Amino acid sequence: MSAGYQAVLWNRQKKRYDLTILAGILLYIGLFVGLGAALRPEATPETLIIRAFGTLALLMLHVILSVGPLARLDRRFLPLLYNRRHLGVSMFLCALVHGAFSMIQFHALGDVNPLVSLLAGNPQYASISAFPFQTLGFVALGILFLMAATSHDFWLANLSAPVWKALHMLVYVAYLLLVLHVALGILQTERNLVLIGLLVGGFGWIVTLHLVAGFREKPGDAPHRGDVIDGYLHACAVADIKDKRARIVCISGERVAIFRNGDTISAVSNACQHQNGPLGEGRIVDGCITCPWHGYQYEPETGASPPPFTEKIPTFNVRVVSGEVYVDPEPNPAGQRAEPAPIRGSS
């Protein structure tokens, strides 16, 4: 949370996460280069390095893009989401090794600047089969660089959440560019059906996973309809909400998380200020609503993070009448106290 900025707020889980990433990278590179050198002794080390790091980066990108929808479908994947930015930065570094070696190997030591060679060496931009695929990889690497460079809460706060989010959604553009980079590049020479199947299969997996997760999510955006008492909209029954948990209801186009905290009910915006995590899927831990994505916390009655943290989210006024929860559709300003509604003694 944002009491101050450090390069990395290390904790035990992050260290284990990063060690696992490192082990995975070493395993992949070791296997690819070792097996490649054994099976193809005539291959140059540069070729094996370029191919090992390029394919590893693409594989890691598949994992990165899978984690989000998997966590939407099964909450037990959330630990993989917790430190995903380290996986993203690691993937960028692998892609950078691939790009740098390729740039030196194929474009350096010639009669023009390597960048000119990369972008204009093969000028057949009007052709599909002859398209200069390197440009696609170069643009994708640029996007991944921007994402890796801003993959910190400092940039999230200073760019503003919408700009930061839009920037990081470019990962899907980068992914598409990289699929084309492979399809129009190496697969034009290595026309192996298994390789084509792996690329198409990976693309199909990512698309399917996102569609399934999206369809699962869609009913949550349906506007809630219920009785209205004194301008308060009926949301749900108290009995529908487990203690320390929430029910998410779409009111006035916004998802509202209605939490039960012992004998009281409170409602806040469902979107965490950090990365728009679904607070209503979180829990109340130590008296605070806790985001399931990165553990950001907010007091249920004020929507403010406990001191010294400074995040704030909008609250909603609530009432409980005869065991039913009613919510004022008008949100309060972020951080403004809304009196929790007692469950018992309500009329």
Partner 1 sequence: MSHNDDEFYVGYLPEAPAGIAAHVKRSILLILLLAAGVAGALAALQSPFDPGAFEFGIDRTFEGVLLEHPYPLLVVDDGEYPGSHLLVAFGKFGAESLTAGHDGKRVRITGSRIWNDQEQMIEVHELEPLGDARQSLAGGMELGTFSFTGEIVDSKCHLGVMKPGRGKPHKACAILCIRGGVPPVLRVESESGELSYLFLVDEQGNAVNDRVLEMIAEPVEIHGEVERRGDVLTLRADPASYKLL
- Binding to partner 1 (CB under 8 A) within 199-258 occurs at none
Q: Does 309 bind partner 1 (CB under 8 A)?
A: no
Tell me 103's DSSP state. I
Q: Which DSSP string corresponds to 299-337?
A: -TTT-BPPTT---B--EE-EEEETTEEEE-SSPPPTT--
Q: Which of 192, 207, 220, 262 binds partner 1 (CB under 8 A)?
A: 192
Q: Near partner 1 by CB under 8 A, which window of 44-52, 92-100, 155-163, 318-326?
A: 44-52
Cβ at position 315, least distance to partner 1 in Å: 22
Which among 164, 159, 208, 199 is positioned nearest to 181, based on CA atoms?
A: 199
Strand 254-261 versus strand 264-269 pairing type: antiparallel
Q: Which of 68, 121, 287, 329 binds partner 1 (CB under 8 A)?
A: 121
Cβ at position 42, least distance to partner 1 in Å: 5
Cβ at position 291, least distance to partner 1 in Å: 9
CA 239 to chain centre: 33
Cβ at position 80, least distance to partner 1 in Å: 7
Q: Which of 27, 200, 211, 228 binds partner 1 (CB under 8 A)?
A: 27
121 token code pair: 């060496």
Nearer to partner 1 by C-beta: 137 or 331?
137
Which among 20, 30, 85, 83 is positioned nearest to 53, based on CA atoms?
A: 30
Nearer to partner 1 by C-beta: 141 or 341?
141
Contact predicate 147/170, CB 8 Å: yes
Cβ at position 169, least distance to partner 1 in Å: 23
Contact predicate 264/337, CB 8 Å: no
Site for partner 1 in 123-182 (CB under 8 A): 130, 132-134
Q: Which of 128, 162, 189, 308 binds partner 1 (CB under 8 A)?
A: 189
Cβ at position 26, least distance to partner 1 in Å: 11
Q: Does 109 bind partner 1 (CB under 8 A)?
A: yes
Q: What is the dihedral of CA 48, 53, 54, 55, to 10 degrees?
A: 90
Q: Tell me how far apart the alpha carbons of residues 289 and 332 are, in angstroms, rounded to a whole number.
A: 17
Q: Does 305 bind partner 1 (CB under 8 A)?
A: no
Q: Give helix then strand counts, H and E, for the chain.
A: 10, 12
Tell me 152's DSSP state. S
Nearer to partner 1 by C-beta: 59 or 167?
59
Tell me, by CB under 8 A, how many residues bind partner 1.
71
143 token code pair: 């996007």
Q: Does 63 bind partner 1 (CB under 8 A)?
A: yes
Q: Near partner 1 by CB under 8 A, which window of 92-100, 106-114, 222-230, 263-271?
A: 106-114
Cβ at position 333, least distance to partner 1 in Å: 28
Q: Near partner 1 by CB under 8 A, which window of 110-118, 146-154, 167-175, 325-333?
A: 110-118
Cβ at position 154, least distance to partner 1 in Å: 18
Phi/psi of residue 282, each to 5°?
-90, -160
Nearer to partner 1 by C-beta: 87 or 313?
87
Cβ at position 188, least distance to partner 1 in Å: 4
Which among 79, 83, 75, 84 is positioned nearest to 14, based on CA atoms?
A: 83
Q: Which of 4, 7, 76, 333 binds partner 1 (CB under 8 A)?
A: 76
Q: In what order do the strands lie in the sheet with 297-298?
A: 283-285, 288-290, 297-298
227 token code pair: 């009785």
